[in-house]
Structure 1
Amino acid sequence: MQLIRPSRTVRSLVGINLGLFLGGVSAGLILGVPDQGMSVSDPSYYSVESLNFVNILWNNAQVTVLLFLTSLTLLWIIGAFLLVLNGYVLGTTILAARATGCSWLLIAMTTLPHGAIEVFAFALSSAVGVVLPLQIINYLRGINDRLISRESNVETATYLALSFVLIVVAAWIEATVSLSIAA
C-alpha cells in the first residue's frame, strides 16, 4: 500500500495548528496566574481510577473528534480556537506545577513523551477537517470541476485514521511512561 502524501493545504494547516497551540502555551505561561494550591501536575490531584489508559484514550479521542467536526462544519475557526485554548491550559498547568516546586525537567519528562504525539494528532485532525469545506468552496468558485473528489476523501480518511492511531499511542505512553515518571 502506497502512503498518501498530504496535500499542501493539510501540511500548511498542520503547521499553522501547531503554531496556534504553541502560541496558546506561550500565552498561558506569560498571562497565566500561578496557582499556589494543588496542581494538576501533582499526582495526588488525580484519583487512580481517572488516570488509566481507557480514560485517557476516551478523553483524547473526544478532543480529536471535536477538532475534526468543528473544523469540518465551521471552516476551522472553532478548531483553531480549541487548539489555542488547549495550549493555554497547558501553559497555565505548567505555571501551577512550577508554583508547587516541580522542576522544568520533571515537567518536560511528564509532558513531552506523550504530548508531542498527542498535539500533532490534534493538529492533524483539525487540518483534515478543513479539506471537505475547502473543496466545496473551490467547486462553487469554479476552481474544482468536481464537488467532492475521491482523492480528497481518501486523504481525509487516511489522516483522520492516523490521528486516532497517534492518539492511542499517546494515551498508552501517558498511562505507562508519563505517569510512572510523575509518581
Structure 2
Amino acid sequence: MTVPLVGFAAGAVVALLVGVFGKVHDPTLAGTTAFGFGSVIAMKIALSIVVGVLAVLQLVGALWLYDRLGVRAPAWLGTAHRISGAVAFLLIVVVAYHCLWAIGLETGSFASGGSVPTRTVVHGVLGCVAIGALVVKVVAVRARRAPGWFLPVAGGLLFTVVVAVVLTSAVWYVAANGWPGSAGYG
C-alpha cells in the first residue's frame, strides 16, 4: 500500500506545484514554438487531439493486453502500447509547457459575471491535475512492489483527466471556432 500512497502524494505535489507556477508566472509567447504550425494555438490544438486519440488507443490497448476484450492480444501489442504511451507522455509535456508558459493558470469567479470563463478555470485546474496524474502513472508503471490494482487505477485516472482536458480545450476550440487557420481563426 506504500507505493500507491507515495505515487498519489507525488502526483498531488506535482499538480500543486504546476498550478502555483502557472499562477505566479508572467505568461509570454517568448520561449514557445509552433513546430511548423501556423500558430502556437494551432500546434496545441493539433497535438491535443493527437493526445486524445492516443489516450483512447491506450485504453483499448490496455483492455486488450489485460484480456478484457475477449480476443487474444497479438505479440506486438505490448510494444506498441509502450511506444504510444511514451509518445502521448511527450506530447502532453509539450502541450502543458506551452499552455503554462504562454497562458499560465487562469483563475476567476464561477459566477456568470466572472472575469474568466468557467471552462477556462476548469481546464486550467484539470491541466494541473493531468500532470499530477501523469506522475502517478509513471510511478505505477515503474513500481515493482505495487499492488495489482494500482496500474489500472493510475491509467484510468490519467485517461479520464486527459480526456476532460482535451474536451475543455482542443475539442471545445474546434467546435466553437473551427480549425485554427480556417475562417480567419488562429
Q: Bin the TM-score by the shorter chain.
A: 0.3 to 0.5
In the superposition, the TM-score normalised over structure 2's length comes to: 0.47
- Give the structure with the larger helix fraction: 1
In the superposition, the TM-score normalised over structure 1's length comes to: 0.47
